Chains A and B, each alone.
Chain A
């Protein structure tokens, strides 16, 4: 197991206790490249694409995905970050998070927005993101890219691009970063 990248993973969630590494950094990079190709297949005009990473787990992947699109097409693909803290429907059950940065410099009206997140689980974060996006205009299409889909959806939300499907049990936890993907358990803080 790659110890330095594991440290990186634990930075994201200090209570995370890893059991095993499922994807290496190379696996993640390959998955992102494949997803970039899939995006290009699906959208007609990359100039109309805005990649939006969800704070905090999706931002690194969004930047990498946008870079990949730029590399393949030779067009500068725009990307931004979005914090959905203010839009969550479970504020009443989770501690109010400190909002991270939202940076969307474009009117999204008539654009193709690709939302990027690290792990798709219940779907509530994505729902919040869909709500939030309406504050920046009316996109023509909104698509969803996730590095890991671990199942257990609570809302009718389906990803358009998936790095890896990983069926999990509810008591397991997944951590996904550019350095790799781990499965483990969430320790009690």
Chain B
């Protein structure tokens, strides 16, 4: 287990201890303040080079990471997938090797294959690797920003500062994750974070969209969304890939919405203080009703906003923390 990501790669939340996660959340609080300044930039990573390589397109995550790197004054090398030589059949190793040859301190990468970030970390052991999403495996910064958003909301309600609460606010917190758990790297990272922080996690999905062997996950499986909805302090929805809803995993998108969509009716039965989350991009009208998505209980915009300070914290700890070993 990793007890601090200082100077470390961030590949999976499965391997982080509670302390390591809390350290990121606490550091991110400082960057929230930076992002509120008129001049939203600090020189912490000045002269450092962060490569952003997205083998699978994601405008949102990529923008969030690159904004984070730039606000830390790092130089950003952005490899555009469409124009890259991956299209010409270049291997992952060669692509990373080429970018590494330009002189980089860290690489933020997304890839359609599970484990690709771990493999890259073996190709360039001297470079810090931040996993921006690998296949169905992990999306660690999403898990961290989701945990950060929950802590921020709960701390505000209690009128306390997040950094003073550590993981306290997660003790006994009831989180219900709904939708396509099976194909979701976000679910895998969220669950790892919430469980490490002390929350109780339930998952609700059509049985075909639950992962195989979900009974060995540290979660409780709920077969009826309607029953679980009054239980939850937090309801986290997941994006349903439209192709999964075309007959192979659920009969129709409509049936999925009927059985597992967060409709206005279901949202009404939520606890009054419940928080609604979605990692985006949303399929309005599929997993979440538009009215619910725009309701005050939904913190979806805040999740996006928190992406930048949390990713700043990850980059700062991972890269600046690396100098510790280098210096000694």
Contacts and interface: CB of A to CB of B under 8 A. Distances in A.
Contacts of A95: 6, 321, 323-324
Contacts of A100: 30
Contacts of A135: 37-39, 41-42
Contacts of A83: 30
Interface string A136-167: 10000000000000000000000000000000
A135 B161 CA distance: 24
B30 A102 contact: yes
A158 B37 CA distance: 29
Contacts of A188: none
B33 A96 contact: no
A87 B326 contact: no
A96 B323 contact: yes
B323 A136 contact: no
Interface string A97-136: 0111111000100000000000000000000000110011
Interface string B65-86: 0000000100000000000000
A92 B26 contact: no
A136 B321 CA distance: 27
Interface in B24-63: 26-27, 29-31, 33-34, 37-39, 41-44
Interface in B311-328: 316-317, 320-321, 323-324, 326-327
A94 B163 CA distance: 22
B23 interface: yes
Contact of B42 (A86, A92, A98, A136): A86
A99 B27 CA distance: 6
A25 B161 CA distance: 29
A173 interface: no
Nearest to A95: B324
Listed residue (A85, A91, A136) with the most chain B CB atoms within 10 angstroms of its CB: A91
A93 interface: yes
A127 to B, nearest CB: 12
A87 B72 CA distance: 10
A96 B43 contact: no
A164 B37 CA distance: 35
Interface of B: 6, 23, 26-27, 29-31, 33-34, 37-39, 41-44, 72, 161, 163, 316-317, 320-321, 323-324, 326-327
Contact of B33 (A98, A101, A132): A101
B70 to A, nearest CB: 14
A99 to B, nearest CB: 3
B239 to A, nearest CB: 33
Nearest to B163: A101
A92 B327 contact: yes
Given A86-B42, A87-B42, A96 B317 contact: yes
B43 A87 contact: yes
Contacts of A102: 30, 33-34
Contacts of A101: 29-30, 33, 161, 163
Complex A-B, nearest 4 residue pairs according to Cβ-Cβ distance, in ascending order: A99-B30, A86-B42, A96-B320, A86-B44
Contacts of A93: 323, 327
Contacts of B324: 94-96
A92 B44 contact: no
Contacts of A107: 38
B30 A96 contact: no
Contact of A98 (B23, B161, B323): B23
19 contacts: A83-B30, A86-B72, A86-B316, A87-B44, A91-B44, A91-B320, A95-B321, A96-B321, A96-B324, A99-B30, A99-B31, A101-B163, A103-B33, A107-B38, A131-B43, A132-B42, A135-B41, A135-B42, A136-B37
Contacts of B33: 101-103
Contacts of A94: 323-324, 327
Contacts of B44: 85-87, 91, 96
A22 B94 CA distance: 62
B25 to A, nearest CB: 11
Contacts of B326: 92
Contacts of A87: 42-44
Interface string A57-73: 00000000000000000
A131 B73 CA distance: 14
Contact of A86 (B34, B38, B327): B34
Contacts of A99: 27, 30-31
B244 to A, nearest CB: 41
A102 B30 CA distance: 7
Q: Which among B26, B41, B317, B324 has the highest number of chain A CB atoms within 10 Å?
A: B324
Contact of B323 (A86, A92, A103, A132): A92
